[in-house]
C-alpha cells in the first residue's frame, strides 16, 4: 500500500521536488539545532587558593667521596673563639669557631624593636578602627534619642503656635472682620495680611499631616523611622515659624499706623502681638534643637564611612609593615647564625689554618682542614642559576639508578670563579648529603634541586591561568560563578563548562613561581574563580591560556593596549570570547 502511494507521488515531478526540498530543509535545520548545542565556548576553571611555593634550581652531577674539605666561615669578621685542635675528632654539626657577632646581634635587636613598633602600630590601628565604629554608634544612638525628645517637645508646643496664629486671624465668625480691619489700616500694604493667611493655611496643613505621622512613632522604632520623624518635625516647625514671622511682620506694620479708631484691632493688638513675639522667640529654640540633631546624624553618617575606610587602610598598611618586619627579623636572625661555624661532616681535623683568635677572617679563610669519608654531591650550574645559590640552602637529591631514593642535603660550597667551556661558563657547587644511605654509591649520577626561595600561606594560581603582555602587564580572566555551592563541582569539570556571561579581564601583580603555580600578590582574593583553559567552539581541542612567561593573543593584546597604564586590580570586560 505504502509503495503504491510513493509510486503515485514520484510520478509527479513537481510533488517529488517539493517533498525532497522539505526533507532537505528539515534535515538542515535539525542538524543546525543539534549542532548549535555544542557551538558554545566552554571553559575549565581554577580558583585562587592559599598554598606554599618553592622555587628551586636544578643541576646534575655525581656522588663523590669527600676525603677532605676546608672549613670556612660564611661571613667576614673577627675570630673570637676556635674550639678545635689538630688531630681532634669531631661530629657533624659540632661548633668549630665563633666570629664577633656584635653587629649582627645589634641588627637582630634593631629588627626585633622595629617589629615590636610595627605590632604596636597595628594594635593602635585596630583600636582606632574600633573607637571610630563605637563612637559613631554611640553618637547616632544619642542623636536619635535626642531627636525623638526634640520632636516630641516641638509637637507639644506646635499646636499652641497654631492656635495663636488662628487667634490672630480671629474666630470663624470674626475672621473676616479682623482681616478687613488689618487691611483697612494697612491700605496698600495689605499684602502683609495675605502673606499671613497663605502661611497659616500651609502651616496648618503641614502640622495636621505630620502630627498624624508623629502619633504613629514610638521611641523604640528603628533609626530610619526616628530620622524621618526628626526631618518631618523640623520641616513642620520651620513652616509654622514662617507663619509666625508673617504675623509678627503684619503687627509691626500695623503699629506704624493709627488703629485706635478701629476698636476690634485695639484688643487684638494688645492681646496677640505679645504672644506672637513670644512664639517667634520660642519656636527658634525648637528649630535649633531639631536642626542640630539632624546635622549630627547627617554628619556622622557622611563622615563615618570615610573614617572607617581610612582606618581599614591603616590596619592593612600596619599588617603589611608587620610582615615586612617579621621577614627582616628572620633575615637578621639567619645572618646571626652565620657567625657560628659548625662541622659539615664527622671526621678528623688534619690541620689548622693560619687564623688565630683576634684575627679578622673572611668567607674564603680556611679555619681548618677536615678529613672525612662523608659522601658529597658535586654538580655544576650555569651563571644565571648559580646567582641565586648560597651556602646553607636546602637541597633535595635524586639518583638516576635509585628511583625510590631521595636524600636531603645542604649547600656547603659554591665556586667563586667559573669554568668556561665552548663559550659557556659553569660553576661548581658542593652539597653535603644529610644521611649516609648505603644504597648511594660513589660515582652515581644525580639530580640536585636547590631550594632558593620558598613562601608559605600565599595566594597561588596555576601558571596556565596567568597571562601577560610583554612580561609587563599580568592578568587573568575572571569567571562569574554566581552559585558558590557549585564551585567545587565546576572546578572538577575537566571537559569544560559554558558560562552564562563573558569573562572579565583582571590585572594582577605576581610574585615568585614554580613549575606549577604562580604567587598572586594583588588583584585577586582567595576563592576567586578564573579561566584555566578555553575550549574552542565546534572543536574537541583545547586552548590553554598563556602562562606568565608567554605572549598573549592578538585580541588580548589589543584589549590591554587600552589599559596598559592601569594598576593591578582593575577590572575590564573582555570584548569577545577570551583565548580565541
Question: Is there a single domain that holds both residue 284 and residue 392?
Answer: no
DSSP class of residue 401? Answer: T
Alpha helices in 170-186 (DSSP H): 175-186
Question: Is there a single domain that holds both residue 414 and residue 516?
Answer: yes
For residue 77, the model assigns a pLDDT of 93
Grid cell in block for residue 567: 594598576
* CA 164 centroid distance within chain: 61
Give this prediction's pTM: 0.53
Under-50 pLDDT residues of the chain: 1-2, 5, 9, 28-38, 539-580
- CA-wise closest residue to 559 among 509, 507, 484: 507
Beta bridge mates, 79: 99
Is residue 310 a part of any domain in this protein? no
Within 10 Å of residue 191's Cβ, how many Cβ atoms?
Answer: 12
Is residue 113 a part of any domain in this protein? no
Residue at which a domain ends, from 248, 277, 303: 303
For residue 364, the model assigns a pLDDT of 82
Is residue 222 a part of any domain in this protein? yes
Question: Is there a single domain that holds both residue 238 and residue 257?
Answer: yes
Beta bridge mates, 64: 376
- SS3 of 473, please? strand
**Rg for the chain, CA atoms, rounded:** 44
> Which whole-number Å values give the CA distances from 241 to 154, 156, 157, 287, 540, in the listed order?
12, 15, 12, 8, 79
For residue 172, the model assigns a pLDDT of 55
Is residue 297 a part of any domain in this protein? yes
Question: Which phi-psi region, left, alpha or beta, contains residue 457 (left: φ > 0; alpha: ψ -120 to 50)?
Answer: left
Question: Is there a single domain that holds both residue 492 and residue 512?
Answer: yes
Question: Is there a single domain that holds both residue 18 and residue 55?
Answer: no
Question: Is there a single domain that holds both residue 59 and residue 6?
Answer: no
pLDDT tens track for 479-511? 777 666 567 776 777 677 777 777 888 888 888
DSSP class of residue 497? Answer: B
Is residue 163 a part of any domain in this protein? yes
CATH of the domain at 538: 2.40.30.170
Question: Is there a single domain that holds both residue 293 and residue 280?
Answer: yes
Question: Is there a single domain that holds both residue 276 and residue 389?
Answer: no
Q: Which residues contact 275 (CB under 8 A, 6 or more apart)?
A: 164, 167
Residue at which a domain ends, from 274, 303, 332: 303
Question: Is there a single domain that holds both residue 16 and residue 164?
Answer: no
What is the C-alpha to C-alpha distance for residues 504 and 543, in angstroms, rounded to an integer?
18
DSSP class of residue 570? Answer: -
Are the C-beta atoms of 404 and 392 separated by less than 8 Å?
no
Question: Is there a single domain that holds both residue 51 and residue 11?
Answer: no
What is the domain extent for residue 440?
Answer: 37-66+374-580
Residue at which a domain ends, from 265, 287, 303: 303
Beta bridge mates, 394: 410
Is residue 342 a part of any domain in this protein? no
Alpha helices in 408-539 (DSSP H): 487-492
Is residue 511 a part of any domain in this protein? yes
End-to-end CA distance of the chain: 56
Is residue 432 a part of any domain in this protein? yes
Cβ burial, residue 379 (10 Å; 0-12/13-18/19+):
buried
Grid cell in block for residue 52: 606554599
Strands (E), 174-327: none
The DSSP H or E segment spanning 466 is none
pLDDT tens track for 435-447? 778 888 888 899 9
What is the C-alpha to C-alpha distance for residues 566 and 553, in angstroms, rounded to an integer?
19
Question: Is there a single domain that holds both residue 385 and residue 299?
Answer: no
Please tell me the total count of domains within the chain. 3
Measured CA angle at 464 (ends 460, 469), to 5 deg: 100
For residue 49, the model assigns a pLDDT of 86
For residue 47, the model assigns a pLDDT of 84
Question: Is there a single domain that holds both residue 271 and residue 395?
Answer: no
For residue 206, the model assigns a pLDDT of 92
Amino acid at each position: 500500500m505504502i509503495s503504491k502511494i510513493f509510486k503515485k507521488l514520484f510520478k509527479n515531478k513537481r510533488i517529488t521536488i517539493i517533498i525532497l526540498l522539505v526533507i532537505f530543509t528539515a534535515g538542515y535545520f535539525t542538524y543546525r539545532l543539534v549542532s548549535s548545542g555544542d557551538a558554545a565556548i566552554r571553559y575549565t576553571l581554577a580558583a585562587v587558593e592559599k598554598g606554599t611555593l618553592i622555587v628551586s634550581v636544578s643541576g646534575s652531577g655525581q656522588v663523590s667521596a669527600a676525603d677532605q674539605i676546608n672549613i670556612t666561615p660564611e661571613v667576614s669578621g673577627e675570630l673570637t673563639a676556635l674550639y678545635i685542635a689538630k688531630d681532634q675528632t669531631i661530629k657533624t654539626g659540632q661548633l668549630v669557631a665563633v666570629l664577633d657577632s656584635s653587629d649582627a646581634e645589634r641588627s637582630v635587636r634593631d629588627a626585633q624593636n622595629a617589629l615590636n613598633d610595627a605590632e604596636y602600630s597595628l594594635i593602635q590601628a585596630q583600636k582606632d578602627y574600633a573607637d571610630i565604629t563605637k563612637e559613631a554608634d554611640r553618637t547616632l544612638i544619642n542623636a536619635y534619642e535626642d531627636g525623638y525628645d526634640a520632636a516630641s517637645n516641638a509637637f507639644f508646643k506646635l499646636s499652641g503656635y497654631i492656635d495663636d496664629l488662628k487667634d490672630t486671624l480671629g474666630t470663624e465668625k470674626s475672621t473676616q472682620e479682623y482681616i478687613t480691619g488689618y487691611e483697612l489700616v494697612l491700605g496698600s500694604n495689605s499684602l502683609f495680611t495675605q502673606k499671613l493667611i497663605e502661611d497659616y493655611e500651609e502651616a496648618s496643613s503641614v502640622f495636621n499631616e505630620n502630627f498624624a505621622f508623629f502619633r504613629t512613632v514610638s521611641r523604640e522604632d528603628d533609626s530610619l523611622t526616628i530620622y524621618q520623624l526628626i526631618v518631618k518635625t523640623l520641616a513642620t516647625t520651620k513652616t509654622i515659624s514662617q507663619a509666625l514671622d508673617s504675623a509678627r511682620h503684619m503687627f509691626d506694620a500695623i503699629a506704624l499706623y493709627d488703629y485706635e479708631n478701629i476698636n476690634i484691632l485695639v484688643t487684638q493688638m494688645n492681646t496677640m502681638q505679645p504672644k506672637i513675639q513670644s512664639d517667634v522667640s520660642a519656636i527658634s529654640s525648637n528649630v535649633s534643637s531639631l536642626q542640630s540633631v539632624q546635622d549630627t546624624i547627617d554628619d556622622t553618617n557622611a563622615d563615618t564611612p570615610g573614617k572607617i575606610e581610612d582606618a581599614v587602610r591603616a590596619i592593612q598598611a600596619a599588617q603589611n609593615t608587620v610582615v615586612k618586619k617579621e621577614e627582616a627579623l628572620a633575615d637578621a636572625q639567619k645572618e646571626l647564625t652565620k657567625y657560628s661555624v659548625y662541622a659539615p661532616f664527622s671526621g678528623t681535623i688534619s690541620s689548622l689554618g693560619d687564623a688565630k683568635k683576634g684575627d679578622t677572617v673572611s668567607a674564603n679563610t680556611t679555619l681548618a682542614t677536615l678529613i672525612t669519608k662523608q659522601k658529597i654531591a658535586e654538580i655544576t650550574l650555569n651563571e644565571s642559576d648559580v646567582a641565586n645559590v648560597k651556602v646553607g640552602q636546602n637541597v633535595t637529591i635524586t639518583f638516576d639508578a635509585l628511583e625510590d631514593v631521595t636524600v636531603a642535603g645542604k649547600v656547603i660550597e659554591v665556586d667563586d670563579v667559573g669554568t668556561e667551556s665552548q663559550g659557556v661558563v659553569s660553576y661548581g657547587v658542593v652539597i653535603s648529603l644529610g644521611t649516609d644511605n648505603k644504597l648511594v654509591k660513589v660515582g652515581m649520577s644525580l639530580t640536585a634541586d636547590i631550594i632558593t626561595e620558598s613562601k608559605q600561606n600565599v595566594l597561588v594560581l596555576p601558571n596556565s591561568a596567568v597571562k601577560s603582555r610583554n612580561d609587563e602587564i599580568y592578568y587573568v580572566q575572571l569567571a562569574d560563578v554566581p552559585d558558590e555551592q557549585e564551585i567545587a563541582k565546576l572546578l572538577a569539570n575537566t571537559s569544560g563548562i559554558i558560562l552564562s556571561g563573558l569573562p572579565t579581564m583582571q590585572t594582577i601583580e605576581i610574585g615568585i613561581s614554580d613549575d606549577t603555580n604562580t604567587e598572586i600578590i594583588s588583584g585577586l582574593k582567595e576563592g576567586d574563580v578564573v579561566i584555566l583553559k578555553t575550549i574552542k567552539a565546534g572543536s574537541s581541542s583545547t586552548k590553554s591560556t598563556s602562562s606568565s612567561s608567554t605572549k598573549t593573543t592578538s585580541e588580548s593584546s589589543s584589549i590591554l593596549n587600552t589599559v596598559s597604564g592601569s594598576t593591578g586590580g582593575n577590572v575590564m570586560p573582555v570584548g569577545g570570547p577570551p583565548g580565541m
